[in-house]
Amino acid sequence: MASHFTDTFLTASQKTQIDEIAKLDQYYELEALTANNDENIGGGRMVKTSAHSKTNQHEQDKKHRNLLRAITEQQQILDQIDAAMVAKYGEDFAEQFAADLLDEQPYKKVMSIQDQKERREAIAEAINDGIATGTIDQQKAYENPDFGNWLDKSSELSDMRQRHETALVMADNEANEIMLAKDQSQETAFDNLFSVQPNEP
C-alpha cells in the first residue's frame, strides 16, 4: 500500500497542480474582498447579483479546489507506488506488464511514447480500457497484486483528472453565459437610454 512508503517526490506535474491551486486561492481571496459589493454598474443601470447565484458559485469553487487538492494527493500516492514498483521490478515494470497484456498495435502505440512517466500513464490507461471493454482478462491483469494496485490508483487519478476537465469546461460555459447576459443587459440599458421620446408640444 502507498502508506508503506514515506518518500514524496514532487514532479513537474505536481508542481503545476500546486501552482494552479495557489492561483485559485489568490483569485478567491480577491473575490472575497469584493463579495460585499452585490451591485455592478452596467450601461447606466444597476444590475443586482442574486444571493443564490453567489452561494452556488461559492460551492462550485469549493468543490473545484477540493478536487485539485485530491488530484495532487493522488498523484503523490501514485508516484510513491511507482518508486516502489521500480525498486521491486525495475524501471521498465510497466512495459513488462504491457508486453504480457496488450495486443501488438496498442503495445506499439504506448511504446512509441518517449517520456517514461507519460508512457506509464498510457500503459495503465490502455490496460484499464482493455479490462473495461473485455479485450483484456481482468483476472490475468490482477494476478500480481502490486500491479493490480498500480492499475487501481492509476484509474482513480485518471477519473479525477477527467472530472476536473469536465468541471473546467462547465465553468467556462457558465462564465460565457454570464458575460453574454451582462452584455445583453448593458446593450438593452444603452438602447433604452436613447429611446426616450421627446415630449409632444
Q: Confirm whether 47 is domain-assigned.
A: no
Q: Confirm whether 188 is domain-assigned.
A: no
pLDDT of res. 152: 94
| H-state helical runs in the chain | 12-33, 51-89, 93-101, 104-111, 116-133, 138-141, 145-193
pLDDT tens for each residue of 24-80: 555 555 454 444 444 443 444 334 444 555 666 667 777 778 878 888 888 899 999
pLDDT of res. 42: 42
Q: Confirm whether 104 is domain-assigned.
A: yes
Q: Tell me the three cell numbers of residue 74.
A: 493522488
pLDDT of res. 71: 85
* Count of structural domains within the chain: 1
Q: Confirm whether 121 is domain-assigned.
A: yes
Q: Confirm whether 75 is domain-assigned.
A: yes
pLDDT of res. 27: 52
Long-range contacts of the stretch 91-98 (C-beta < 8 A, 24+): 91/116, 93/147, 94/119, 94/120, 94/123, 94/124, 94/150, 95/119, 95/123, 97/123, 97/127, 97/141, 97/144, 97/147, 98/123, 98/126, 98/127
pLDDT of res. 124: 95
Q: Write out the residue range of the structural domain in which residue 115 sits.
A: 60-159
Whole-angstrom distance, CA of residue 140 vs CA of residue 132:
14
pLDDT tens for each residue of 12-35: 555 555 565 555 555 555 454 444
pLDDT of res. 8: 43
Q: Confirm whether 143 is domain-assigned.
A: yes
**Amino acid residing at 105:** Q
Whole-angstrom distance, CA of residue 48 vs CA of residue 42:
10
Q: Confirm whether 189 is domain-assigned.
A: no
Whole-angstrom distance, CA of residue 183 vs CA of residue 181:
5
Instruction: Examine the pLDDT at 126 and tell me if it is beyond 90.
Output: yes
Which of 1, 26, 133, 74 lies closest to 125 in space, CA to CA? 133
Q: Confirm whether 175 is domain-assigned.
A: no
Whole-angstrom distance, CA of residue 92 vs CA of residue 120:
9
